[in-house]
Each structure stands twice: as C-alpha cells, then as structure tokens.
C-alpha cells in the first residue's frame, strides 16, 4: 500500500468514528467520506485482493473505534480479562468490516466502467451489502443512515426507500461529487441528487409541523419510568424486591402528579422486573394491584416462562401489557409479546461458541427462546407494535408490526450493559429510523436511558437523560396511514439486485470486448 492509500484508509476510518455518536464530537455528514475512501482504495488498488484487504482494514479500524464499547459487557458482566474482552469486540468489528472489503473490491472490478455507471453500480453495491449483511450477520449496527439520523433533514427519504437504500442514495451522491467530479455530468448529477434529498427532507419536515404534545383522540399520554438499576445487581435474587419497589414507588409518585386525572400508558423497560413475577405470588399481586388501582395500562418487561405438561421450561424475554379489570381479576394481562430476534451472547450462545467462559454473559435466567407472534398489543385505541432492545435496529421487524395494524411503535430496552459510552446514543439513532420508514411515532423506554419519543419524521419530541432514577411525561400521536416504504419494501431489494446484476454483466461484456 502506498502512503496515499494509508492516508485514505485513515480518513475513511475517521469518517466512521466521527460520523456516528462518539466520545468527542458528532459530525454526521462526515460519514459520507467512508464509502468515498473505500471506493478510492479499490479504484487505486493493483488487484482485487489488495482492494479487499485495504477496504477491510479501513472498515476494521473505523468500526473498532465506533464499537469499542462492546468490550464493556464482556469484561464487566462476563468477567473476561481486558485482552480477551477486546478480542471479542475486535471479532465483531472484523465481521462487520468484511462488507467494506467487498465494496472496495467491487470498485476495483468496475474502475474502467463509465463514471456515471460506475458510481451507480457502487451505490447499489453499498445498499445490497448493508441489507445482506444485516440479514446474515444479525448485527447491523453501523448502517450509513444510522449516522445521518442525528440530522432528520438528511433521512426523510427513508419513508420511500428505507434506511439501507437511503444509504445507497447518499453514497451515490458522495461518489459523484467527490470522486467522479471531473466529469461535469457526474458533478451536476451528484449535486442535483444531494439537493433533491435535502429538499425532499425539508418539504417532509415542513409538511408535518413539529409538536411535542399532540392532542386529540388519536393521541396518547405516556409515563416512562426509569429505575436506573445496576446491571451487575439486578439479577441477584436479594435485589428483586428492591427493583420492584423502585418501579412501584416511582410510578405512584408520578401518577400523583399527573395533571387533570390523565390515565397514561405506563412504560417500564426491558426486564424491569428481573424475575418470573407471574410465578411469584407476592410480586405478581403487587404489580397487578398497581395496574388496577391506577386505572392505567402498564407495559413492562420481565422474563416469561412456559411450563409444558412434562415439566420442561421455556424462557422468553417478554413484554406484558396489564390493565385494570373487574374485581375478580385486577390488573389482568391483556397482551404479551415475546422477543423474536435474540441477542447473541446476551440471550443465547451460538452452538459453535457455547464455551463455559461465555456462560456468565447469560445473566439471570440463562438461554431465552425466540417468540413467534408479531401481533400488536391492543388496549382501547392503542395498537402497540412491540420491539425489545436491539430489535429496533431491524427495519423488517418494525415493518411487520405496522403491517399487522400497529398505530405506534414501542421499543423497551436496557442499555445499562454499555455504561457511559456512545452505545445508547447510537442505539437511539438507529431505532429512530424505524419511525421515519414506517410513518409511526415511536416510544422508547429504558432502564438507564436514553428514553425518548420520536415523531413520524424522526425528530425527538422528548429525550431523557442517563443514569438517573426518575420519570418522564410525554405525549405521542397514533397514526394509521401507511408510508410509501411500507408498501415498496418487498420490491426494493429485488429491483436493486437486478439492476446491479445487469451492470455487472455489462462490465464483464465490455471487458471481454476490450480483450478481443
């Protein structure tokens, strides 16, 4: 590699780190230099293997810097020494970065193609790689649009194209403006595309005026409760009563202060109750009595357990919706949702990595099983499209909830694993994209922050702090209209794949004709 290539790789890695929330300064637009750097590494590489290696190293450096916080749960919860914990984080970054290497390799293969078509093919490659890797790896944490979500103006087109295809569009604009700008047509096209994306964003934001407290019958009042329970204590049986008492106390205090006798949706976070409260009568009674006496629907996270006829236990990461009812069944369960996309190492261990030293990461109940139903939790006018923790980063999960009738999305989470790092902010931004894609408001309730309300244009109408016990009042709108993306989503990937394949065939045909 030449000195120019090394500097290009460093610039690309810095673009990843600075583009996503970090510990120094967030500069979302800089993330566009990431695909530009990868493309330059490929275009200047002497062969495909060099391009693959250069792109992978660039992505590895940037991804490791952006995701360093992955070492914390492995070290603090799993108890591994820092070298091994760091190696685990490096392994994840290495897997994610493989797509970067493939992108640079694609640039090398297409470098003799006419600039406009080369840029288009690379933009399609960016989208296809993000989408496929998200499906295969199950940890799509650094999509390009996830950095841009910090500035809602830049991500409004996600309501048509979705976050991954939007990343491809911004990649196309960046390549045309920064790499192929010597071609006047490319520069003009790139500037027009950039302007179009921003004009569309401005029009969409102006079309939906920002409001912190929507009112009317098609809205809901919400009470978020944050217990701020230490991750290393919450699963210890001796702390079960203290955890429950904290949430009950905070909820009762907040309800006493509610203006005008409102009956909000009460939201407790993922595993707010770190025990099988349904199978522990003294705890079960306390929780259900709170729901009954408050007259409010109570959404809470807790482990769920099903026992078969032969005594076999099945464990789920579950969300319960409780509500007031007749005296014979106070605080009955009116709905429940079992997490469908589990976190590797936190909720299960892949069979090929089921080592004893990783078992410590499975806090509390051990291995969970996947849920099977994406039906909304319904109560009155509410149809809650449930997502638990990092399910909020998968577009197709939110899409399925809306397709089944959800009029609002709800993500309950627990980011206490990652301490005071950028992880919670990165998670919030990724989840906010689901609101834009689906045209739904999104409620995000957490244990240690960041709890938030996101409107259907990706703007935060309420944002809480971190690592402080407390409550947050908010309001959100209930919407029924389908976004264009919710209708187009099944067609976007096949269409992009077909166009990309056609461009590759043209490139290969042109190469053969040149050789002859």
| Cβ–Cβ < 8 Å for 235, 363 | yes
| Residue 217: partners with Cβ closer than 8 Å, 6 or more residues away | 381
How far are the Cα atoms of 52, 71, 282, 426, 490 from residue 91, in angstroms, in the given order?
A: 17, 11, 44, 19, 32
Which residue of the set 234, 339, 391, 399 is catalytic?
339
Phi-psi region of 350 (alpha: psi -120 to 50; beta: other; left: phi over 0): beta
* Cα–Cα nearest to 379, from 338, 337, 441, 412: 337
| 263 has catalytic annotation | no
| 282 has catalytic annotation | no
SS3 content of the chain, % helix, strand, coil (to 5): 55, 15, 30
- Distance between CA 471 and CA 166 in Å, rounded? 35
Cis peptide before 450 (omega within 30 of 0): yes
Which residue of the set 130, 150, 226, 270 is catalytic?
270
Residue with tokens 């904290």: 246
Which residue of the set 58, 133, 296, 389 is catalytic?
389
| Cβ–Cβ < 8 Å for 130, 120 | no
* Cα–Cα nearest to 322, from 280, 265, 374, 272: 265
| 151: Cα within 13 Å, side-chain hemisphere | 17
- Distance between CA 410 and CA 442 in Å, rounded? 6
| Cβ–Cβ < 8 Å for 455, 436 | no
Residues facing residue 221 across a β-bridge = 475
| Residue 495: partners with Cβ closer than 8 Å, 6 or more residues away | none
| 389 has catalytic annotation | yes
Q: List the strands of the sheet with 442-446, edge to edge.
A: 377-379, 382-388, 408-413, 442-446, 452-454, 460-463
**Catalytic site residues?**
270, 339, 389
């Amino acid at each position: 590699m030449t000195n120019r290539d090394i500097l290009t790789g460093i610039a690309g890695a810095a673009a990843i780190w600075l583009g996503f929330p970090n510990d120094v300064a967030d500069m979302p637009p800089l993330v566009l230099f990431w695909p530009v750097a990868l493309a330059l590494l490929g275009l200047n590489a002497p062969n495909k293997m060099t391009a693959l290696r250069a792109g992978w190293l660039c992505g590895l450096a940037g991804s490791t810097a952006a995701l360093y916080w992955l070492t914390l749960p492995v070290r603090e919860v799993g108890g591994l020494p820092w070298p091994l914990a760091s190696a685990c984080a490096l392994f994840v970054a290495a897997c994610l970065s493989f797509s970067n290497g493939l992108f640079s390799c694609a640039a090398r293969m297409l470098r003799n193609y006419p600039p406009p078509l080369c840029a288009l093919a690379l933009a399609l490659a960016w989208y296809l790689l993000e989408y496929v890797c998200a499906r295969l790896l199950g940890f799509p944490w650094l999509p390009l649009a996830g950095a841009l979500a910090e500035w809602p103006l830049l991500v409004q087109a996600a309501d048509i194209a979705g976050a991954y295809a939007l990343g491809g569009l911004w990649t196309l604009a960046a390549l045309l403006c920064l790499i192929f700008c010597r071609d006047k047509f490319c520069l003009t096209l790139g500037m027009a595309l950039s302007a179009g994306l921003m004009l569309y964003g401005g029009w969409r934001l102006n079309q939906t005026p920002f409001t912190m407290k929507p009112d009317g019958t098609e809205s809901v009042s919400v009470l978020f409760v944050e217990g701020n329970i230490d991750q290393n204590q919450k699963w210890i049986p001796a702390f079960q009563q203290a955890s429950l008492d904290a949430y009950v106390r905070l909820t009762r205090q907040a309800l006493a202060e509610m203006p005008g006798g409102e009956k909000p949706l009460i939201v407790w976070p993922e595993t707010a109750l770190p025990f099988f409260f349904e199978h522990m009568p003294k705890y079960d009674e306390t929780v259900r009595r709170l729901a009954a006496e408050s007259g409010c629907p109570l959404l809470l996270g807790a482990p769920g357990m099903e026992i078969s006829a032969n005594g076999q236990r099945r464990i789920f990461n579950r969300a319960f919706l409780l509500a007031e009812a007749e005296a014979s069944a106070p605080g009955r369960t009116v709905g429940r949702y079992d997490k469908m996309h589990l976190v590797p190492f936190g909720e299960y261990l892949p069979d090929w990595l089921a080592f004893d030293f990783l078992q410590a990461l499975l806090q509390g109940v051990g291995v969970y099983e996947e849920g099977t139903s994406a039906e909304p939790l319904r109560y009155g006018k509410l149809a809650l499209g449930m997502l638990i923790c990092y399910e909020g980063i998968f577009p197709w999960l939110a899409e399925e909830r809306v397709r089944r009738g959800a009029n609002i999305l709800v993500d309950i989470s627990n980011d206490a694993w990652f301490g005071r790092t950028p992880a919670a902010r990165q998670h919030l931004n990724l989840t906010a994209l689901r609101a834009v894609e689906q045209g739904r408001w999104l409620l995000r309730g957490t244990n240690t922050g960041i709890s938030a309300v996101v409107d259907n244009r990706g703007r935060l109408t309420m944002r809480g702090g971190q690592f402080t016990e407390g409550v947050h009042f908010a309001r959100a709108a209930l919407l029924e209209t389908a976004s264009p993306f919710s209708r187009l989503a099944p067609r976007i990937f096949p269409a992009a794949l077909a166009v990309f394949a056609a461009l590759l065939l043209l490139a290969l045909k042109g190469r053969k004709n040149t050789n002859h």
